[in-house]
Structure 1
Amino acid sequence: MMLNYFDQFMTPVYLGVPLVILALGLPLLLFPAPGQRWLAGPLLTLQNWFINQFTRQLLLPVNKPGHKWALLLTSLMLLLLSLNMLGLLPYTFTPTAQLSLNMGLAAPLWLATVIVGFKSHPTTALAHLLPEGTPPLLVPMLVIIETISLFIRPLALGVRLTANLTAGHLLIQLIATGTYVLMSLMPAISVLVSTVLLAMTLLEVAVAMIQAYVFVALLTLYLEENTPSGPPTAQ
């Protein structure tokens, strides 16, 4: 029996082993592997088309040095999409509803983009901390503000994904509880609430897909800031 609505976001444990490890590994089995035949099956063909279109759209604003991240960003998108959708199935667990997991993905990737920027173009990276034409009296304050906003980026990435998935799951749980309670008291109202529950479930599917894309798209924008098109700055 669930003691409160937030119990659904607790990491399930079986025989002392966290099941989040199983939840992270299972989505990888859902994607087909290339076979030995010349012609791929329809599922593999659809998957390859989706990956190609997504990668092309994702790397459109990124300069050529950032295209090396294509494999990493595409893999991250597929992983987040699988985990978000996995949590919508009955009797399953949503790993991306945990802030610790999202921060574990956001912080290292954000830090990698910053390191790339300071390694290849240190002058440009430092210039982001102070807009051009700033009055001298505002220089210390703007440097502090821009530095804080820079370090808030990974927190914003992790919290955004966690908050959106948590809010959607809680709302579905509340509507489902209302449907169950009203089933014996007011059947007609229960049917109406069930329709709202179905619409909310479809909306949550869209949210799961959009939030996975937003997470990767923001990382792409951070990468675009730190990979200018000019030649690397001399160290």
Structure 2
Amino acid sequence: MTLSFFDQFMSPICMGIPLVALAITLPWVLFPTPSARWVTNRLLTLQNWFLNRFAYQLMMPLNVGGHKWVLIFGSLMLFLLTMNMLGLLPYTFTPTTQLSLNMGLAVPLWLATVIIGMRNQPTVALGHLLPEGTPTPLIPVLIIIETISLFIRPLALGVRLTANLTAGHLLIQLISTAAFVLLPLMPTVAILTTILLFLLTLLEVAVAMIQAYVFVLLLSLYLQENV
């Protein structure tokens, strides 16, 4: 029986239990536990340096009120980065290829930024729906368009992450299948295809890291508008 290329994105189930929960919780074991000692190992020092630089770059444009989100954004960045990189290993499953998981992350965080804006500065938050200097006949149309664009934001966050990871994994599988088929027929072409597959894998590693950063960066931009 020939399986579909999209079967790799189906959530695996063992004895009726979805293994996506295991795929989400297992990578957290790989991170070193911080300690109160002055001198730590190199891995923990590198992890702390990465989190400090990431928090500095992300929180620098925000007001002081938005700095409370640094722990949430830092944890989310590590979570998405780990999940995206997990799918590049053999015999693994990428939870972030599931739109339901990505929307479950995008919608509550986006809604929290909107609620914060409506609570702290409702006039400014509502003012984003109507650009300054708009002609009077265009006011109803622009309000409808800006409202639709506001509610599309979480959908764009989830779909962007899902589509990029799904497309990359699918392309890797297609090229690897072509390399196996061409190996007995045209070995030279198969070797060139394998080199292309290696380069594409490096590109997919970069995409996995960049998409995690873009997801958190866009959330910080939404927060910046409401604090």
TM-score, normalized by length of structure 1? Answer: 0.95
Partner in structure 1 of residue 182 of structure 2: 182
Q: Which residue matches 2:10?
A: 10
- Which residue of structure 2 aligns with residue 232 of structure 1? none
Distance in 1, matches of 2:185 and 2:112, equals 56
| Segment drifting more, 57-66 vs 47-56 | 57-66
Residue by residue over 1:119-176, the C-alpha shift from the partner in whole angstroms, topping out at 9 and shown as x without a partner, is: 0000000100001111110110000000000000000000000000000000000000
- The letter of the residue matching 2:194 is S
- Quote how far apart the aligned CAs of 1:38 are: 3.5
Shift of 1:63: 1.0
Answer yes or no: is 1:57 the counterpart of 2:57. yes
Note the residue ranges of structure 2 that are not aligned, 5 or more in a row.
none
Q: Tell me how far apart the structure 1 counterparts of residues 77 and 34 of structure 2 sit (CA, whole Å).
A: 20
Match of 2:172 in 1: 172
Match of 1:107 in 2: 107
Partner of 1:230: none
Aligned 1:130-149 pairs, distance under 5 A: 130-149=130-149
Q: Does 1:41 align with 2:41?
A: yes
1:74 corresponds to 2:74:
yes
CA deviation map 1:169-202 (0-9, x unaligned): 0000000000000111111111110000000000
Q: C-alpha distance in 2, partners of 1:175/1:62?
A: 43
Question: Post-superposition shift, 1:36?
Answer: 5.7
SS at match of 1:32: coil
Partner of 2:212: 212
Secondary structure in 1 matching 2:133: coil
User: Pairwise CA RMSD of aligned residues?
Assistant: 0.9
